[in-house]
Amino acid sequence: MAQKNRTLIASIGVEDTMTGLLLAGIGDIDSQQGPNFLNVDDKTDQQTIEKAFTSFTGRKDIAIILINQNIADRIRGILDAYKAPFPTVLEIPSKDHPYDPSKDSVLKRVQLLFGD
Amino acid sequence: MPELSIRLAIATLVISSAAGVAEDLAAGDGEAVVDAAAEVAASAVDLGPLGFVVISSVAGVVGALAAGDGAMAGDGEAVVDAAAAVAASAVDLGPLGFDDDLLELLDMFSEYQQIRGSSNALLRQAFFDLSVARRSAGYQWISADMYSGRAQAITTVDVDPIADDITVIYRRRQESCADEVRQEKPREGLRRRLPISETATAVELNDEENDKHNDSDMDEMTSTEKRNSSPSKVRSDDPLLWFGMLVPPALKEAQSGFVNAVGQLVRLAQLKRQLEAKQKALQPMLEKLYSANNAD
């Protein structure tokens, strides 16, 4: 099964989030595919984020992509168009941007389901 | 399937109740109409929240006719047909376990909200600990510049495609220690002298073991294993070491917080997948329900 090889958790986030998640042990640098994380700062442009996201979704060893909600807003179009079950994309809060339920895709889907 | 038979029985009851309303309506008996409509509503409650929506639309049809003029009241057969058509949609919903699926979806959503709240709290505390560690050690020592270029994932997930389950696996501590012990075992010919501080412990261990086995080689191996499995042993691939040998305690607390948060985030990701799958399954039936409701 292809999913059996999906063992990694990838991440796109600001420095605090990345440092924390790397401390938790999710970081992996593959000699061929590169790192499974992207540290986003003020200088990181949208294209770089989009490229990293597309790269992570195309990898066969990644099961989950964690992305800061404020960064997800910058690539909302790509995120909304992404429908594949694996890797699963999950938006998480950052230190400076608390979780906003109104931007949660799960919440939006449930509201849509009930016609709100 | 008992649930199906119950639903069919209730739906039949609803249809007959609606027919009763129509007949009373045709006969011009206002009080009987009200009673029969109440019976329809009671049956709808038995069908659950969605059944209630569907069947209340039956009551709506009948109620509208009851409020109408005499010309409409005379058209009893049309009322029965309309009521039966709407009630039939309720029967369609029954065999598919629609209500159960919907309740399951709501349960999952409730769990999602709970875990979202707890993971947010864990992350908030971990961010705070990280800030304290930075303040203590200095910003330049805990930054992206210190990330290792040879990082290997020690926290991974296991995807079970059959059970549609994602579980998180922490390979920290126990597995690495076990590896180190395994590396020590083959070196039976070369004995390493113990440091002075550890000799006493080793001697004590040897004395205890001599009482049992009287085998010195086995005793030294035991002491080696005990040293390796001591909690003070630091893993060579622990990301904590990227930031120095002597890191602030707050950084260790932050690490612990992020490890716990990752476990919760993995569960969230799994719930998200399940919610999306359930939503896809329910979408067509809900659309059918809404269209039936709007038609009334």
Same domain, B38 and B124: no
Cβ pair A29:B149 closer than 8 A: yes
Cβ pair A24:B156 closer than 8 A: no
Residue B286 domain flag: no
A55 — pLDDT class (breaks 50, 70, 90):
very high
Number of domains within chain B: 3
- C-alpha distances (whole Å) from A71 to each of A68, A84, B17, B24, B212 are 5, 20, 57, 64, 63
Query: Which of B68, B95, B122 is the C-terminal boundary of a domain?
Result: B95
Residue B289 domain flag: no
Same domain, B109 and B91: no
Same domain, B116 and B254: yes
Provide the residue range defining the domain that includes B213.
186-228
Beta strands A62-68 and B165-170, pairing class: unpaired
What CATH number is attached to the domain comprising A96?
A: 3.40.50.10580
Same domain, B119 and B243: yes
Cβ pair A109:B153 closer than 8 A: no
Same domain, B7 and B82: yes
ipTM attached to this prediction: 0.93
Residue given tokens 């029985």 in the structure block: B9
Same domain, B217 and B84: no
A95 touches chain B (CB under 8 A): yes
**pTM above threshold 0.90:** no
Residue B177 domain flag: no
Report the residue from A16, A26, A64 with minimal CB separation from B127: A16
Residue B217 domain flag: yes
Residue B206 domain flag: yes
- Give the distance from residue A116's alpha carbon to the nearest chain B alpha carbon, in angstroms: 12
Alpha helices (runs of H) in B138-215, residue ranges in sequence order? 174-184, 196-212
Cβ pair B159:A95 closer than 8 A: no
Same domain, B60 and B206: no
In chain A, the percentage of residues whose pLDDT exceeds 70 is 95
Check whether A25 has a pLDDT greater than 80: yes
Are the C-beta atoms of A3 and B159 separated by less than 8 Å? yes
Query: Which of B228, B247, B262 is the C-terminal boundary of a domain?
Result: B228
Residue given tokens 């063992």 in the structure block: A7
Residue B11 domain flag: yes
Low pLDDT (below 50) residues in chain B: 1-2, 4, 69-73, 95, 173-188, 194, 196-232
DSSP A86: S
Provide the residue range defining the domain that includes A53.
2-113
Phi, psi of A10 (to 5 degrees): -95, 165
Q: What is the pLDDT of residue B51?
A: 53
How far is the C-alpha of A84 from the C-alpha of A89, rounded, in Å?
Answer: 9
Which residues in chain A touch residue B149, judged by CB atoms under 8 angstroms apart? 29
Same domain, B159 and B248: yes
Number of domains within chain A: 1
**Alpha-carbon dihedral sign for residues B265, B266, B267, B268:** positive
Residue B29 domain flag: yes
A108 — pLDDT class (breaks 50, 70, 90):
confident
**Helix (H/G/I), strand (E/B), else coil: A57:** helix
Same domain, B143 and B73: no
Beta strands B155-160 and B165-170, pairing class: antiparallel
By C-alpha distance, the chain A residue nearest B112 is A106
Residue B148 domain flag: yes
Same domain, B115 and B211: no
Which residues in chain A touch residue B279, judged by CB atoms under 8 angstroms apart? 109-110, 113
How far is the C-alpha of B146 from the C-alpha of B243, rounded, in Å?
Answer: 6
Which residues in chain A touch residue B147, judged by CB atoms under 8 angstroms apart? 22, 27, 39
> Best of B50, B162, B258 to disrupt the A interface by mutation (most A CBs within 10 Å)?
B258
By C-alpha distance, the chain A residue nearest B164 is A3
- Give the distance from residue A13's alpha carbon to the nearest chain B alpha carbon, in angstroms: 12
Cβ pair A106:B109 closer than 8 A: yes
Same domain, B14 and B56: yes
Check whether A92 has a pLDDT greater than 70: yes
- Give the distance from residue A49's alpha carbon to the nearest chain B alpha carbon, in angstroms: 17
A17 — pLDDT class (breaks 50, 70, 90):
very high
Same domain, B165 and B241: yes
